[in-house]
Structure 1
């Protein structure tokens, strides 16, 4: 009985042991097969990856990458810095505007201040306008600096390559090499680097291989290509020229960029960096009706056999008329007297180097304007001094402010800049014994007999006999005499010295608040004197015949009030000089 049970237990143990051994062998066989399959998978993946990197296929794919990249670079050059239109400001040809016009109404253009004061925009061509003090358009590169431009160009070029690389990649050839697999190309991912002299693209290209009954194999192939395009240098050179073109109306973007320097209106030579930034490049323009296309061709940047061209647009802008003004006051620009001919030296420039023409409109009752000075010219212009001018007789009914319109326009679209010039017309009346302290009686404040008594009213332009006519010249301040030293004359010299002394009415309020350096008073004469006087020489007439050391101290006088100082003060008398 015992033996039978023992044998039965032993049999059970053998069965369990056998099953365990079979399990061990099964696991070993499984892991061996798995190892073989893994090795085969790794071998297959390596083989397929190597197939993607074979010299013929890699060479062809790299050529495809370079061709696609250069297609995108060419579009960037043609469009002025972009590939994909994201609401950029562009021409009908699709070229980006680098300068856009500012919608300002003359005569504010190109000044920034649209509000009083001052009453008029006092811009002139001699103003150095860098720093956007004055601008002749909006710089519109959609970037603040090169870094922004680079980011836009890189982003657009990367997207262009990723979207178009599959169009030229030849996977049919690869399929023929390994026909047992179905090949599917994924979406490439490209990284662009813009250097000083070239542009490099590195693309990661995912490719999936399918074989019936086996797990798909995906591998990442990497390809690179380089094009010698100096895009960074070209854009920096373009930006350099654009900044000057937007700041100086007489800057010629082609001529000055090519020459390498620009003579500013202040006779300062500004060295431009265009030629230094991009040696070997040429800049020129194509003129359209409402804009110019500026083109930079770089002989060291080539796509195939062609030079790379970078194009951008510049909107047609109005010409710039220099500010016309001869008076220091904001009330008027010119004083006008009977039978006086006023001539102007008009200056204007067109920021786009277009032909321009001057015109004059207006006048008043008894006057006419000489229109013989209408001139058509290119770019910067200074009109001849003899025209356009104002001439003719006028009567007292013309006294006061009269206005005339001076304008300059360009011939393409008729864009113009103009100024309404204000003439203070003086009356021809004179009355003995009364002197108006303010110019042409613009304020009813008078000095009776030069003794400091203020009258309640004064007719326009009234002056005392034997005293200076306030309209003969254009004083901003009227110097009156010192009653303690002179009792018969008032001089109208401007108080424009570097020093001020008492007994000059510098603010035209009828109160003597300082001396005018250079104002000297003589009986029956209007006098002038050198301004480099000592303080002790600030008043009185001086005798002629001094020694040469004191010759500069002579006072000159205008006894007949014709505006010509033909005499010198000798013993307090105006003696006409011998000729």
Structure 2
């Protein structure tokens, strides 16, 4: 029993010791593993942080930078397969020169759709585009080599090379079994004047023995080099100037100077400029360093493309020693100056007006072009490379002739196109095309010149009054003929016509409606308003002194009176015509100014002037016998056997057109007051104005009279005769009533005569027919005869003693309350007495008649 118990105790102790051993082994193993990890971290930190920084500085950054700058110098850029941004494309972004893909640092910038837009910065507003003219600043190619471009390509190149360097370092220095997990290392390259500033972010990550290790390190250092200074002096700034100024000379001699000169349309206040040949020549400072670094330029031209290769070499560019940089400049066409004259870019480029009295009547084109590639134009000696040519476009000026018939060499051997006025009248007005080309043998710039042939600017200005003037020889001549070739005279009392002749209609859509301005430059202006004409109207007439459409417009009434009568008052009241209210013998200029716009930039203008004087009157002579001024303009003189040179009223005419009998033909001033200007014909009427009738109540309408009036000039007007000088009225047939049956003209004025009394003695009594010509003058009472005779206030009158022609001194023609009891004779019923029954009318009560 005792032995069995001891065995059990040993077993238990063995189990306990076994557990203790296992636990100790596990703890020891864990402790060793922790120590190993700690050692690995110490190893990673020591190798990657300190040692790697040194390696990166000396190897992984310096070497790629130097190689990148050398490669950049050999080809002008770093291509995509070298880590650069762009892939090389022949003749698009570079050219293969001496088996090296060389970058186009300057490339032609033109629209593929509109290559003729060159050198405009955009292809907007075709076909005129920006209307480039030397020395306008434009885009003579695009400078694709920039500081940003260089930095970006170096960053990509160095980043790629650094990643390969880190991968190699990981394998060699950490462990062959270490696997680099970093896919990209960010490198930033900034170039300043003295070198390159390098910044790098290293997200270094690799795996080893199943564990991943990561450490992020930011690193920056400065790479000292003369490369930036070299590039700025020889390349970066000059290619900008070369792409901006067509006359920039990219040459060794120009680069060595402290400034270069360029032409500008106007002075730059920030530069030193001087005027030469109507241009501003300005000096721009170059970059320092070119001469100090002893940089040399060698230029070569590719014969096939015309592209030029620029190779710059300096003997001592730190840290390389001798360093070269090469780039290509793509051949650029000559920049043809915009060919234009009176242009409207949206409509046409060149205006021709055949028959015009200015230089617009010929077509003359002398092309000019400047080449930014230093190619010389014709006329610059044996090095001339720019040539010019002309051809007709889609709309030909001369379909059956060669345009070369009109091309001639100038004194500088530049061909010029000249079509003179004698060849142009055969060309119909409209739009035509001539294509002008400037070429350097490889590239060309052309302009499709839109020629607008317009109708001639034929304008004229004439004044007329419609009057007839008696000249010095007594001949009657029209107003316009009288004043032909000399100054016009208008008066203070007559309207006049201004006849405006304007050019024929222009082509629709190319010329706006014209504006015509009439103005007078004498004492004061009488009209300054524009007159817009319709396209179909070539001749327009206006009547003045205030604007009307015709002379007939002045034959009107103002305030119930004819205008000719109140003419002076109207002139005084109107501001637009007050100049014609007073004589101006000095005269002024009547001007016609014609202006029409093709567009805002181009206008068509011309003017014509005529001298205009203001006189007192115009001695107009009416050629149709209307020899008397207003208000007698309708009277004419006629001849007959009975009354030679008698006057009668003729057709109604415009009062201004009657003879101006009160105007002195010698002085063109009104005749003195009192000068007889009209004696009216005898007026036969029943006006009741004869002196014998002056005391009779309502005498008009019964007795025939003759009346004539003499009128005189007033000394103020020449075309009116308004002052009555004297008048005389007489009875034609005293004692007789007007005969209205034989003279119909008297029917109106003698309207009160009874028909039975017409031509009869006053107070005629016809007992057989039973009527009596009573009334105020014994010719009836308002066309009525009487059948009753009353012996006024005489109750016992014996009608057997009745006179042959009883008058109204003793007899009445009706019974009234005033003659009650008077004897009366009813020519039909017999004698009686006038009675007035109560409440009834008075009547003649026949004797024996008690009813």
Separation (CA, whole Å) in 2 of partners of 1:73 and 1:157: 10
Determine if contact 2:229/2:289 at 8 Å carries over to the other structure.
Answer: no
Cα pair distance change 1:33/1:121, threshold 3 Å: closer
Q: Greater relative contact order (Cα 8 A, min sep 6): structure 1 or 2?
A: 1
Alignment-derived partner of residue 439 in structure 2: 410
Alignment-derived partner of residue 90 in structure 1: 93
Query: Are 1:100 and 2:108 counterparts?
Result: yes
Alignment-derived partner of residue 15 in structure 1: 14
- The structure with the largest alpha-carbon Rg is 2
Instruction: Select 2:287's aligned residue among 275, 297, 303.
Output: 275
Alignment-derived partner of residue 304 in structure 1: 320
Residues 330-479 of structure 1: pairs in structure 2 closer than 5 A: 330=347, 332-337=350-355, 346-354=367-375, 355-361=385-391, 368-373=405-410, 389-391=418-420, 393-394=422-423, 396-398=425-427, 400=429, 405=434, 407-420=436-449, 422=451, 424=453, 451=497
DSSP-derived class of the 1:92 partner: strand
Q: Which moved more, 1:228-237 or 1:86-95?
A: 228-237
Determine if contact 1:185/1:206 at 8 Å carries over to the other structure.
Answer: no
Separation (CA, whole Å) in 2 of partners of 1:42 and 1:366: 92
Cα pair distance change 1:105/1:226, threshold 3 Å: closer
TM-aligned CA deviation for residue 412 of structure 1: 2.9
Instruction: Select 1:234's aligned residue among 231, 247, 255.
Output: 231
Separation (CA, whole Å) in 2 of partners of 1:337 and 1:46: 96
How many residue pairs are counted as aligned between the two chains? 451
Cα pair distance change 1:26/1:125, threshold 3 Å: same
Separation (CA, whole Å) in 1 of partners of 2:428 and 2:17: 134
TM-aligned CA deviation for residue 154 of structure 1: 0.7
Alignment-derived partner of residue 307 in structure 2: 291
Determine if contact 2:408/2:417 at 8 Å carries over to the other structure.
Answer: yes
DSSP-derived class of the 2:409 partner: coil
Separation (CA, whole Å) in 2 of partners of 1:336 and 1:7: 145
Query: In the TM superposition, what whole-angstrom CA distance separates every residue of 1:272-305 from its partner, at most 9, and x where no partner exists?
Result: 5761698856666433224233455567745633
Separation (CA, whole Å) in 2 of partners of 1:12 and 1:245: 102
Determine if contact 1:406/1:420 at 8 Å carries over to the other structure.
Answer: yes
Q: Structure 2 regions of 5+ residues with no counterpart?
A: 272-282, 376-384, 464-487, 489-495, 507-512, 542-586, 594-608, 613-851
Name the TM-score, length of structure 2 as normaliser: 0.40
Separation (CA, whole Å) in 2 of partners of 1:96 and 1:483: 71
Query: In the TM superposition, what whole-angstrom CA distance separates every residue of 1:72-131 from its partner, at most 9, and x where no partner exists?
Result: 222233343333254454223223334234135475444545657xx74461325744xx
Alignment-derived partner of residue 156 in structure 1: 157
TM-aligned CA deviation for residue 205 of structure 1: 12
Cα pair distance change 1:228/1:286, threshold 3 Å: same
Query: Are 1:195 and 2:191 counterparts?
Result: yes
Determine if contact 2:114/2:123 at 8 Å carries over to the other structure.
Answer: no
Q: Over the residues paired in the alignment, what is the CA RMSD in angstroms? A: 6.2
TM-aligned CA deviation for residue 229 of structure 1: 5.3
Instruction: Select 2:341's aligned residue among 306, 326, 331.
Output: 326
Separation (CA, whole Å) in 2 of partners of 1:198 and 1:334: 62
Separation (CA, whole Å) in 1 of partners of 2:229 and 2:190: 7
Separation (CA, whole Å) in 1 of partners of 2:18 and 2:166: 60
Determine if contact 2:518/2:528 at 8 Å carries over to the other structure.
Answer: no
Query: In the TM superposition, what whole-angstrom CA distance separates every residue of 1:507-556 from its partner, at most 9, and x where no partner exists?
Result: 996799xxxxxxx9858999xxxxxxxxxxxx9879xxxxxxxxxxxxxx
Separation (CA, whole Å) in 1 of partners of 2:50 and 2:505: 105
The structure that is strand-richer by fraction is 2
Cα pair distance change 1:19/1:347, threshold 3 Å: same
Q: Structure 1 regions of 5+ residues with no counterpart?
A: 377-382, 435-448, 461-475, 487-500, 513-519, 527-538, 543-579
Cα pair distance change 1:209/1:325, threshold 3 Å: closer
Cα pair distance change 1:522/1:227, threshold 3 Å: same
